[in-house]
Amino acid sequence: MAEIIRPSTVLPALRTPFHVITSDGVDLVGEVSAPLGKTVGTILTLHPLPIAGGMMDSHVYKKAANRLPAMAGITVVRFNTRGTASEAGTSTGSFDNGVAEGLDVQAMIDYCFDILHLENLWVVGWSFGTDLALRHAKDPRHKGLILLSPPLRTTTDEELAYWNSDPRPITALVPEHDDYLKPDEAKARFSIVPKLRIIPVEDAKHLWVGEPAVHRVLSEINTIVTGTIQSLPLEF
């Protein structure tokens, strides 16, 4: 019998906690949620602002880990940036407003490729995590960036312009009612990078509250990572 997908739904996956040490000695905690069968793609998630409650268990990423391995064959790699705590544990170090966190991003990309040997990896940032992605996720091995609710809080115009010299795709999902950049504002700010694709999402807010918003986000991620141009089912 099919199971209706609900906020609390946890589908089968191989879930493995991990520790990764950065080049400056910070101990990052996280979890890999992998399909029980073949992996067709991977997302490395960069979470929202930790001093405002963001962490690897922020709800969109938790639901991604609970659903995407079984529903889409996507491995989900989540972790806490330096100084961030969740049920999985607390990463050492301290919050650095997106500067030293660049070492966290690189350490995790290295872990995905050098230790886990994952393929078709996409970097997904949400809010604060979008600035980390734009500023620091330049490793040539990943396939591109997916940005959720980008505020462009710390990313400079010069850092944005870098992506004009990088051929990889960038897609930004921008909520209609975002607290920071609404779709028209995002189009103006991101005009520095003409290739960047903006997807306005009606009725959504910065935190993607509600199952319809989560379903839209996970469906768009699935389309980008796997090439399957259809929404995820509402049942499993």
3-class secondary structure per residue, 54-84: CCCCCHHHHHHHHHHHHHHCEEEEEECCCCC
Distance CA 140, CA 124 (A): 15
Q: Which segments in the chain show pLDDT lower than 50?
A: none
What pLDDT does 164 receive?
A: 98
Instruction: With beta carbons less than 8 A apart as the criterion, state whether 16 and 31 touch.
Output: yes
What pLDDT does 2 receive?
A: 83
CA atoms within 13 A on the CB side of 177: 8
Question: Helix crossing, 101-110 with 128-136: angle to 10°?
Answer: 70
Going along the chain from its start, the domains and CATH numbers come out as 14-226 (3.40.50.1820)
Distance CA 44, CA 146 (A): 10
Terminal CA-CA length for the chain: 9
What pLDDT does 1 receive?
A: 72
Short-list 176, 218, 214, CA closest to 198: 176
Short-list 104, 98, 88, CA closest to 55: 88
pLDDT digits (tens, 9 = 90+) for 149-184: 999 999 999 999 999 999 999 999 999 999 999 999
For the CA atoms of the chain, what is the radius of gyration?
16
Give Cβ neighbours of residue 185 (< 8 Å, ≥ 6 apart): none
